[in-house]
Structure 1
Amino acid sequence: MPTECIPYQETGYFTPIICDYLAEKSSLQPFYHRFPKLENFEAQLLEKKESSLTNASQRAILSKALLAQYEKVATSEKTKQNIEKLATENTFTITTGHQLNLFTGPLYFLYKIISAINLTTELKEKYPNYEFVPIYWMASEDHDFDEISFFNFKDQKLRWKREASGAVGELSTEGLDEVFSKFSKALGNSNNAKYLQSLFEDGYIKHDNLTDATRYIANELFKQYGLVIVDGNDAALKELYIPFIENELFQQTSHKKVTETAKKLTKASDDYQIQVNPREINLFYINDGIRERIVEQDGVFGVYNTSVRWNAETLKAELHTHPERFSPNALLRPLYQEIILPNLCYIGGGGELAYWFELKSYFEAVNVTFPILLLRNSVVLKTSKQSKKMEKLNIFNRDLFLPKDDFITKKVKELSKIDIDFTPQKEHLKQQFKDLYKLAEQTDKSFIGAVAAQEKKQLKGLKHLEKRLLKAQKRMLKDKVSRSRDIQKQLFPKNTLQERKQNFSEFYLEYGENLIPTLVEQLQPLQGEFLVLEL
């Protein structure tokens, strides 16, 4: 199966902060704990093992809560065993998280989870005396419905149209029968189409809320690999979080520490952008279909946009009675995850890792082990037919990552029988003007300005001619350029990475049950390169 690996830094699709992280630049080292190398996991494992947060009673609570979450889920024996293993002291997790996107959303949902699965396999080979469990953390408490309410299929945006408020995981699946109808018509009648139809129907039509539907679909896709799916919106798990919620409400340590770290990040490099700005209180309150921020003013606490109010004493009482009503925002969710899981590593996209970099000093302040951070695998999938077309048109995989205009210019120059590059002529012209400058210095120095102006004018003329010739060649080579550009558009839809736009269903329709095993076989989470994979 033909593959090519391209360093992330050479793709043009990753931010300076991520490129510097991958290069282990010294400017970024204060903002993470250990770099994701196989040999670094032993120290991480021992540090996490010694943490008071991974004691036997806490592990027992985690395992019991997950067994309850899976009570009505038909899963694999491997997943059941992994849940039970979490109660034992020699078991650790590798975690990724994602929103509850409709029908998994973009392709990288698969790549995140497969990265976690494959890393647990590598760790088990390296450290056979320990057990490693892949975790998918569902962002069931998120409230951004617009981001998750659609998926793309064959240039169609299949959107779930409804009003929504509160935590998305609690949303009723009512109305998804309309999406199911449109999706079914677009799929066709092949065996793979029928599987996708049944997966959607069993997930969304036969489950009452978005959390249960998403768990069902992720479990169906990955249960054979022992994936454990965690819903953090759980009263038993939130009880473990109570001391840290109190810290957030009354000491507001996260605001102080993250603000300090954000300033240090921007000082470390002008290219580093702050991903998340902290609030004074980074918690939401969930109840009766609402999810609103908790705010404080002059010692009075309240829920934004509501009449709910507490003083410090009544707020503590509410927290201890109903911890499930207190929900971390994007900045605080990583801490919650690391508190309840015996976790070694978090796997995320570039944007996610960028906000994790803001959190290290906060974790240290509240005495929680900071995990290893790993950039998820990224992949471009192409068919053998597309590969053959690329070969005929002399398109290399690396060419595809170029911006559209640069890609077209490169192809025109390669296809043209005329040398469109006027660099030799420009250099020759510059050399002629060097002689004129020497002459001007020997005669009348006031002549130098006129020489410089003429040089600038003639170089500009050459550039203009070069552009005119390129444009003429584009017209002459229109057919081949158009076919080359069609390939790039197929593999980089909307001029962005395929994994950010396309849904797995398009590829499952073609490759069926071989799709995920093939990805599991090919993705190497610690390789640190972008994979171009011919299916």
Structure 2
Amino acid sequence: MPTSYISFKETGYFSNLICDYLDQKESLHPFYNRFPSIENFKAQIEEKKAVFPQENRNVLVEVLKDQYHDIGPSEITKNNVELLKSTSTFTVVTGHQLNLFTGPLYFLYKIVSTINLTKQLKEAYQDSDFVPIYWMATEDHDFDEINYFNFHGKKFQWQGPDTKESSGAVGELPTKGLDQVFELFCQDIGMGADAQTLRTWFEEAYLKHNNLTDATRYLVNRMFGDEGLVIIDAADKRLKSLFVPYMKSELFEQSSQKYVDETIEALNEIDPSYKIQVNPRAINLFYLDKGLRERIVETDGKFSVNETDIFWNKKELQQHLEEHPERFSPNVMTRPLYQEVILPNLCYIGGGGELAYWLELKSFFDSVKVPFPALLLRNSVLTVTEKQAKKLDKLSITFSQLFLKRHSFINRKVREISNIDINFKDQKKHLEEQFQEMYRLAEVTDKSFLGAVKAQEVKQLKGLDKLEKRLLKAQKQKLSDQVSRITDLQNELFPNESLQERTDNFANIYEEYGETFIKTLLKELDPLKAKFVILVV
């Protein structure tokens, strides 16, 4: 079966805001710079090239060379790092948390989307070069969001270090205890060559590196280094130094909150259903120290670190920022700006939730005169094995039906395969037509009877609804074997009634298909197609 597609809206899993963005709804135009199309990148290149300093390129390359020193980049990655010195080189970025063993499947789809877009840009703009970047979220502190992965329907969870250590930046977490996860993983995985590759990757990443940053860099480099992916850890003093002027503005002028609050209000006026992803604080920076990542707050001109005894006056804080910029960490509101300040970036690729908060930031970027990148929704994929595809065909299940919620999916299939039509739509229509005549009679005789007629209509329609549901339930029981088969198949492809890509780990597929799986993703995923992909492997 060939690769198939379904619209993001049709899946029912994407917000109104994101669907409207993909439709380029006119009312949303003020909230982004340029919609990501090959043609629009021409102006994006010119805009970024005009303002991005050579100094920032030099610092970036120096830092990346240091970060790759111990793992040995591929030749293409090494070349991409060198290319970043050139004023004609630009980046495409995706970012993600340091999930254990990459976490959910969509991590791979983010990376592949990023790699493939740089290839498409190179074909279109051959006088420039384009480097795919994976931004490691090393300064996050949500340990419970990253300490597990799902394999064979089981949750493999890392207990991690003690509470104090796990409350700081996750990238610094020591990898102790991951040998126990590895042992359990080895007991559950198969014995083939691809399974052995997975064992080797896990062991070399997590048992031979001292912290989560180094482990993740090693693993992702093993998986995608041959595609030229460049991995960056922005928690570096030299990079943070480039961001000091913007952090000063955030600390002492609280520059982002005003603009973001106004944008949120404007989005709500366009459509109240637009879910606001993130609300800004007065100061959108954290303070970092060993085992600590806490908010910086200001009260009556005094600055402090929330829930600690660390405090400064304005002059002391300014001096501390200039001497130790590495101790200041952007939060979700200011991290995008940090990214665009230190990278010659054209486009950010993310999921629906990420793009929703990026859409809050355009006016803030404008205020600090930093070009706003194109925003591209990452590829989303439902991966179907050949065996599953044959079952779908045998059961006459379409891909669009698979995306229905469980109750609707089963009801629709029972109606399709049943030898009786359990749909009282025609009977309800006939009943309503009969009651129209009764309403007419009540109008010309005694209008006080209209309420009684309405009550009787509602009662009889409810009776038909109840009878329809009882018959459907009885038919489900009669067809229990078929219902069980279609339910089991949907469970396989939508674990926990959620998108596969948000639940399963890549090892579930790699164990059987190996490198072919990643090569298929690289071949089939078109980041600019703006469709949900159903991929038969």
TM-score of the two chains, using structure 2 as the length reference: 0.98
SS at match of 2:39: helix
Identity of matched residues, %: 58
Tell me the residue number matched to 1:33.
Answer: 33
Aligned equivalents of 2:3, 2:279: Cα separation in 1: 40
Amino acid at match of 1:192: D
Tell me the residue number matched to 1:22.
Answer: 22
Aligned equivalents of 1:525, 1:359: Cα separation in 2: 23
Amino acid at match of 2:16: P
Query: Which digits, 9 at most, give the CA deviation of each residue in 1:277-329, with x for residues without a partner?
Result: 11111111112221111111122212122222211222121111111111111
Aligned equivalents of 1:386, 1:277: Cα separation in 2: 42
How many angstroms does 1:341 deviate by? 0.2
Query: Which digits, 9 at most, give the CA deviation of each residue in 1:3-24, with x for residues without a partner?
Result: 1100101110000110110111
Aligned equivalents of 1:173, 1:529: Cα separation in 2: 38
Amino acid at match of 1:259: D
Matched, 1:102 2:104: no
Query: Which digits, 9 at most, give the CA deviation of each residue in 1:350-377, with x for residues without a partner?
Result: 0000100111111011110000000000
Matched, 1:67 2:69: no
Tell me the residue number matched to 1:171.
Answer: 173
SS at match of 2:40: helix
Tell me the residue number matched to 2:413.
Answer: 411
Query: Which digits, 9 at most, give the CA deviation of each residue in 1:12-40, with x for residues without a partner?
Result: 00001101101111221111111111110
Tell me the residue number matched to 2:10.
Answer: 10
Aligned equivalents of 1:385, 1:274: Cα separation in 2: 41
Task: Find 1:123's aligned residue among 117, 121, 124.
Answer: 121
Q: Provide structure 1 residue ranges, at least 5 long, that are not aligned to the other structure.
A: none
Relative to structure 1, the CA distance from residue 413 to residue 131 in structure 2 (aligned partners, 3 Å threshold; closer, same or farther) is: same
Tell me the residue number matched to 1:517.
Answer: 519
SS at match of 1:28: helix
Aligned equivalents of 2:454, 2:291: Cα separation in 1: 71
Amino acid at match of 1:505: A
Amino acid at match of 2:336: P
Within 5 Å, give how 1:369-518 maps onto structure 2.
Answer: 369-518=371-520
Tell me the residue number matched to 2:294.
Answer: 292
Tell me the residue number matched to 2:207.
Answer: 205
Within 5 Å, give how 1:119-198 maps onto structure 2.
Answer: 119-162=117-160, 163=162, 164-198=166-200
Relative to structure 1, the CA distance from residue 463 to residue 132 in structure 2 (aligned partners, 3 Å threshold; closer, same or farther) is: same
Amino acid at match of 2:5: C
Which is further off, 17-26 or 300-309? Answer: 300-309
SS at match of 2:304: strand
Amino acid at match of 2:101: F
Task: Find 1:277's aligned residue among 276, 279, 292.
Answer: 279
How many angstroms does 1:435 deviate by? 2.4
Aligned equivalents of 1:311, 1:433: Cα separation in 2: 77
Matched, 1:76 2:74: yes
SS at match of 2:132: strand
Does the Cα contact within 8 Å between 2:190 and 2:511 map onto a contact in 1? Answer: no
Aligned equivalents of 2:418, 2:532: Cα separation in 1: 31
How many angstroms does 1:439 deviate by? 3.0
Aligned equivalents of 2:521, 2:439: Cα separation in 1: 63
How many angstroms does 1:482 deviate by? 1.0
Query: Which digits, 9 at most, give the CA deviation of each residue in 1:136-158, with x for residues without a partner?
Result: 00000001101001111111111
Aligned equivalents of 1:266, 1:464: Cα separation in 2: 39
Which is further off, 26-35 or 131-140? Answer: 26-35
Task: Find 1:361's aligned residue among 363, 366, 373.
Answer: 363
Aligned equivalents of 1:133, 1:393: Cα separation in 2: 45
Tell me the residue number matched to 2:90.
Answer: 92
Query: Which digits, 9 at most, give the CA deviation of each residue in 1:403-441, with x for residues without a partner?
Result: 000000001000111011111111112222222333333
Task: Find 1:228's aligned residue among 222, 227, 230.
Answer: 230
Does the Cα contact within 8 Å between 2:205 and 2:219 map onto a contact in 1? Answer: yes
Query: Which digits, 9 at most, give the CA deviation of each residue in 1:190-238, with x for residues without a partner?
Result: 1111111110010000000100000000000001110000101011111
Aligned equivalents of 1:126, 1:313: Cα separation in 2: 50
Which is further off, 59-68 or 89-98? Answer: 59-68
How many angstroms does 1:248 deviate by? 0.8
How many angstroms does 1:526 deviate by? 0.4
Aligned equivalents of 2:210, 2:183: Cα separation in 1: 18
SS at match of 2:243: helix
Amino acid at match of 1:36: P
Amino acid at match of 1:496: S
SS at match of 2:447: coil
Tell me the residue number matched to 1:50.
Answer: 50
Does the Cα contact within 8 Å between 1:381 and 1:534 map onto a contact in 2? Answer: yes
SS at match of 1:88: coil
Within 5 Å, give how 1:243-322 maps onto structure 2.
Answer: 243-322=245-324
SS at match of 2:4: strand
Does the Cα contact within 8 Å between 1:235 and 1:323 map onto a contact in 2? Answer: yes
Relative to structure 1, the CA distance from residue 459 to residue 504 in structure 2 (aligned partners, 3 Å threshold; closer, same or farther) is: same
How many angstroms does 1:454 deviate by? 2.3
Amino acid at match of 1:134: P
How many angstroms does 1:263 deviate by? 1.3
Which is further off, 447-456 or 138-147? Answer: 447-456
SS at match of 1:27: helix
Amino acid at match of 1:401: F
SS at match of 2:501: helix
TM-score of the two chains, using structure 1 as the length reference: 0.98
How many angstroms does 1:502 deviate by? 0.2
Does the Cα contact within 8 Å between 1:27 and 1:269 map onto a contact in 2? Answer: no
Amino acid at match of 2:40: N
Tell me the residue number matched to 2:342.
Answer: 340
Query: Which digits, 9 at most, give the CA deviation of each residue in 1:243-284, with x for residues without a partner?
Result: 111111111101111111111111121111211111111111
Amino acid at match of 2:18: I
Aligned equivalents of 1:316, 1:166: Cα separation in 2: 23
SS at match of 2:514: helix
Aligned equivalents of 2:452, 2:205: Cα separation in 1: 76
Instruction: Tell me the number of residue pairs that the alignment of Structure 1 and Structure 2 aligns.
Output: 533
Aligned equivalents of 1:452, 1:56: Cα separation in 2: 76
Aligned equivalents of 2:103, 2:447: Cα separation in 1: 68
Aligned equivalents of 2:227, 2:220: Cα separation in 1: 11
Aligned equivalents of 2:142, 2:447: Cα separation in 1: 68
Amino acid at match of 1:121: K
Amino acid at match of 2:239: L
Query: Which digits, 9 at most, give the CA deviation of each residue in 1:442-475, with x for residues without a partner?
Result: 4343343333332222222211111111111111
Aligned equivalents of 1:127, 1:87: Cα separation in 2: 18
